[in-house]
A and B are shown apart, each in its own frame.
Chain A
Amino acid sequence: MSVRPNKPAKPQIEATGHVWDGIEELNTPMPRWWLWTFIACIIWGIGYAIAYPAWPMLSRATPGLLGASTRADVAEDIKRFELANAEISARLAAADLTAIAGDVALQSYATSAGAAIFRTNCSQCHGSGAAGVQASGYPNLLDDDWLWGGDITAIHATIAHGIRNDTDPDARFSQMPAFVDILEKPQIAQVVQHVLAISDQDHDAAMAQDGAALFGENCASCHGDGGLGNRELGAPNLTDAIWLYGKSPEKLLETITYSRGGVMPSWTQKLTEAEIRAVASYVHQLGGGE
């Protein structure tokens, strides 16, 4: 292309030749590289549609020559993370349960992994904050009261085998009788007053007096003479401030009359040993661990 730069181009605007009602259409040409950019984009688009998933079909889009798939990417990412965690995971599964808390790296891994597993598997009953459901039978895991023991070994056993389930022979088991068949209604009312008395609540002293004898005959075998409970049997302490099913006289009456017994599934089938240990470590460090 020959140019004559000594003649500066005066802005001479060319007309397209189109005239409407005496109004002339001028032609201000666009830069030609725009056209090339546009064509390059089209070519790129065609190449992209061939190389990557593009055309929607009935069941899925065309796969593309490069075989790109975000699902496969995710699966690969998961595999990569599992591989990266394999070593510490194996260490967690083999470690002495009581030694986990003292190992900074192991404890950090266990609580992070445990928190994720807890949110997925446990939060349905125990709540995402692990506070349970007050007075409804789903235990609060943040407090210092434990039915079956609150040290890491006991928590681990509870998670691994569950409570009162039919699927795991090692599940923790105990059964409170329904006293509707054993005691008369006034007797049950007296026992309620006794329980109110030992837990330092408002009560009828005379009825509580009679209830104490009934308690000794019927309840103390599991809950202990003083009502302090028995962790071997999952029998709750009746003298403290924590009530799984409520502390009001009405709730206590209902509990004694019809009995209570929560069920927790066994997690051995669903989670690996390392995962169970991770959840146990997580629960143990929530503030109530012993």
Chain B
Amino acid sequence: MTLPDTPAPSLYAAREPVFPRRVKGTFRRLKWGIMAVTLGIYYLAPWIRWDRGIAMPDQAVLVDLAGRRFFMFWIEIWPHEFYFVAGLLIMAGLGLFLFTSALGRVWCGYACPQTVWTDLFILVERWIDGDRNARIKLWNEPWTLRKAGLRAVKWSVWLLISVATGGAWVFYFTDAPTLLGNLATGMAHPAAYATIGVLTVTTFVFGGFMREQICIYACPWPRIQAAMLDEESLTIGYRDWRGEPRGKHRKAEGADALGDCVDCNACVAVCPMGIDIRDGQQMACITCGLCIDACNDVMAKVDKPLHLIGYLALSDEVAERSGQPARSVWKHVFRPRTLMYTLLWGAVGMALVVALFIRQPIDLTVEPIRNPTFVILSDGSVRNTYDIRLRNKNGAPRGFRLSVKPDTALTLSLEGTQGDVVTVPADQTLLQRVYVTVQRGNPIGTSDRTDLRFWVEDTTNTDRVFKDTHFTGDAE
């Protein structure tokens, strides 16, 4: 081992600030659109009202943790139906697989909250501090009253956005107008304030100061996505076979020998990640498409073909290098892998829709009591006990008539209630103990197991459901 002759280098590096320049073009417009839609949904969804009846919340999208209900417009999900949420998560996963294998890191570039909020924060920054050059100048300036004032304004606006972001989140978990009133008067639950506080801090720090650091160092997703890309996936790349050798195209330097890249650094200046796409595919690239807009702008000005930087698939590189045209986008998108993801995604979606429509109008579970399995009564008859849970998902109370088959041998009675009808209050589950008795001498009373069927019928309409269970006799 040779001893180092230079002082030990620093093992930690400070963040290099990034000052993305303003850019215009197709992808920038697309990103504005996506930002408007995603932020619009996020901020406004809790305020949509949806009438469900008197005893039910009238918020269209509501995660009622205390009541253990999930409301989504006309869909109401109870805890025992959580497979719907699991199904939606599976669909989200498959959707990501599909989009990533077809279009690369589109999630990162267009839809990820980190990207969207950072974009919004940069927009604010540009309004207040000016564009790239002004911001670099301001950064390098010593602290003056003007700089402090600009910083104060910028951070205040960021903070407002951050508070609104945390504030919007809590509205999904309780009635939004009530909570807003409580928040304003200081009457809301401490958990609401704590949640808003945490989300305000994370939004402010992640969107204002950490930005690309989150993508590069904190997020596992870029590393997972890399495994889902293949040579057919569309991703953003620099056509170095067209661009190199790059140069300023001054005649004196022999412009004829140079490639299309005029080395204007526009692609670097607009990059929110602070990278140079011309270095090739890299982990830090979120494929936001802004370098495409920047480069196309320049290519149009210097009268060269567009898309020196553009969406391309790795498999096209060989053809393009030898001057062949690239295969069409659709050929890259439609291939067995993406088709399979689409089919799987569609199958899960169809299964969920079917499951949604075949949900029983009455929810019934029957639990035979096994401690003890049967009771012998003084007249020698044998009795079994069942816990029946009846769910009323309507906004009004419902009466249910219970019966048991075969009714010739079995008699049914309800604990605490005369007759065979129980009323379940609106949006509640009723636990009703039910006794089924068979007279002495009937073979059911002495056989180990006899099948029986509980019927439950809504007294107000013709809805009825059944549940099969069994009767345990004294078979000693």
Stretch from A15-23, A75-83, A157-165 contacting the other chain: A15-23
B415 touches A31 (CB 8 A): no
Contacts of B132 in A (CB 8 A): 5
A242 touches B371 (CB 8 A): no
A131's nearest neighbour on chain B, judged by CB, is B372
Contacts of A33 in B (CB 8 A): 15, 210, 213
Query: Does A6 sit within 8 A of B, measured CB to CB?
Result: yes
Query: Does B1 sit within 8 A of A, measured CB to CB?
Result: yes
A271 to B6, CA, bound (A): 82
B279's nearest neighbour on chain A, judged by CB, is A11
B4 touches A18 (CB 8 A): yes
Query: Does A27 sit within 8 A of B, measured CB to CB?
Result: yes
A58 to B383, CA, bound (A): 58
A30 touches B13 (CB 8 A): yes
A107's nearest neighbour on chain B, judged by CB, is B416
A129 touches B371 (CB 8 A): yes
Query: Does A3 sit within 8 A of B, measured CB to CB?
Result: yes
Interface hits, B127-142 → A, CB 8 Å: 132, 136, 139-140
Specify which of A10, A129, A242 is in contact with B378 (CB 8 Å cutoff).
A242
B1 touches A18 (CB 8 A): yes
Contacts of A3 in B (CB 8 A): 16-17, 136, 139-140
B12 to chain A, nearest CB (A): 4
Contacts of A242 in B (CB 8 A): 376-378
Name the interface size band of chain B: 35 or more
A128 to B369, CA, bound (A): 12
Query: Does A217 sit within 8 A of B, measured CB to CB?
Result: no
A144 touches B377 (CB 8 A): yes
Contacts of B136 in A (CB 8 A): 3, 5
Query: Does A145 sit within 8 A of B, measured CB to CB?
Result: yes
Query: Does A237 sit within 8 A of B, measured CB to CB?
Result: yes
Contacts of B369 in A (CB 8 A): 129
Chain A interfacial residues counted at CB < 8 A:
41
A111's nearest neighbour on chain B, judged by CB, is B416
A29's nearest neighbour on chain B, judged by CB, is B13
B16 touches A9 (CB 8 A): yes
Query: Does B2 sit within 8 A of A, measured CB to CB?
Result: yes
A25's nearest neighbour on chain B, judged by CB, is B4
Interface hits, A104-129 → B, CB 8 Å: 107, 127-129
A5 touches B8 (CB 8 A): no
B15 to chain A, nearest CB (A): 7
A29 to B10, CA, bound (A): 7
A127 touches B9 (CB 8 A): no
B379 touches A240 (CB 8 A): yes
Query: Does B276 sit within 8 A of A, measured CB to CB?
Result: yes
Query: Does B385 sit within 8 A of A, measured CB to CB?
Result: yes
A143 touches B377 (CB 8 A): yes
Contacts of B1 in A (CB 8 A): 18-20
B440 touches A241 (CB 8 A): yes
A4's nearest neighbour on chain B, judged by CB, is B136
Most buried by A among B213, B268, B378, B379: B378
- Interface flags for B267-302 (1: CB within 8 Å of A; 0: not) read 011000000100100000000000000000000000
B15 touches A31 (CB 8 A): yes
A29-B378 contact in complex given A17-B5, A287-B415, C-beta closer than 8 Å: no
B385 touches A287 (CB 8 A): yes
Query: Does A140 sit within 8 A of B, measured CB to CB?
Result: yes
A285-B416 contact in complex given A11-B279, A143-B378, C-beta closer than 8 Å: yes
A31 to B371, CA, bound (A): 62
A159 to B2, CA, bound (A): 89
Specify which of A29, A32, A142, A240 is in contact with B372 (CB 8 Å cutoff).
A142
B450 to chain A, nearest CB (A): 20
Query: Does A233 sit within 8 A of B, measured CB to CB?
Result: no
- Interface flags for A216-255 (1: CB within 8 Å of B; 0: not) read 0000000000000000000001001110000000000000
Interface hits, B1-34 → A, CB 8 Å: 1-2, 4-6, 8-17, 19
A168 to chain B, nearest CB (A): 28
**Can you list 5 A-B contacts with CB-CB less than 8 angstroms, sorted by A residue number?**
A15-B9, A17-B9, A32-B15, A143-B378, A240-B379
List the 5 shortest-distance A-B pairs measured between CB atoms, nearest first: A17-B4, A129-B371, A29-B13, A241-B380, A240-B378
What 15 new A-B contacts, CB under 8 Å, besides A5-B269, A131-B375, A145-B378? A5-B19, A16-B8, A17-B5, A29-B11, A33-B210, A33-B213, A34-B12, A35-B12, A101-B416, A140-B372, A142-B375, A142-B383, A144-B378, A145-B377, A241-B376
